[in-house]
Amino acid sequence: MIDKVNRKLLEARKAKDKTLVSIYSMVKSELINNSKSAKPKDAIDVVRVYAKMLEKAACGFTSGDKFNELQEEVKVIRALLPKEMEENELRLFIEQIFMVRLDFETMNVGEIIKTIKHATGSSNGKVIADTVKRIKESK
């Protein structure tokens, strides 16, 4: 992720786009701070959390320049993230894991969510947990 942000930052600097330089610099800063922490999180999660923080900040504004600026910033940051799987794609992926991994049935839901989030780039642990639960119940 840091390589992708660095490339985007370089492109923005070459294009002399101060807005994008600012956005990518903030994302890079978040990633660097995370890497220095005692318990670093996955880079994708760091970027996702940062985007959510900006979305919450935008909720404080109903309209106007600041609202539009934050919305644009969120859009740019979300473009850095991998595409989320649709629920039916996620279900098929999880079912395939169930067929391949014999220990999947005995894994706790937290381990399953972590494994699937890492493999798919999907961020929504609740959707993953609900999907796993439905699959386990149907067996």
Q: What does the domain layout of the chain look like in residue ranges?
A: 2-78, 87-138
All residue ranges of the chain with pLDDT < 50 are none
Q: What is the pLDDT of residue 22?
A: 94
**Residue 67 contacts by C-beta under 8 Å, 6 or more apart in sequence?**
58, 61
Sign of CA dihedral 24, 9, 123, 113: negative
Does the pTM exceed 0.75? no
Q: What is the pLDDT of residue 102?
A: 56
Q: What is the pLDDT of residue 35?
A: 93
Q: What is the pLDDT of residue 1?
A: 85
CATH number given to 2-78: 1.10.1510
Q: What is the pLDDT of residue 101?
A: 63
Q: Are 95 and 116 in contact (CB under 8 A)?
A: no
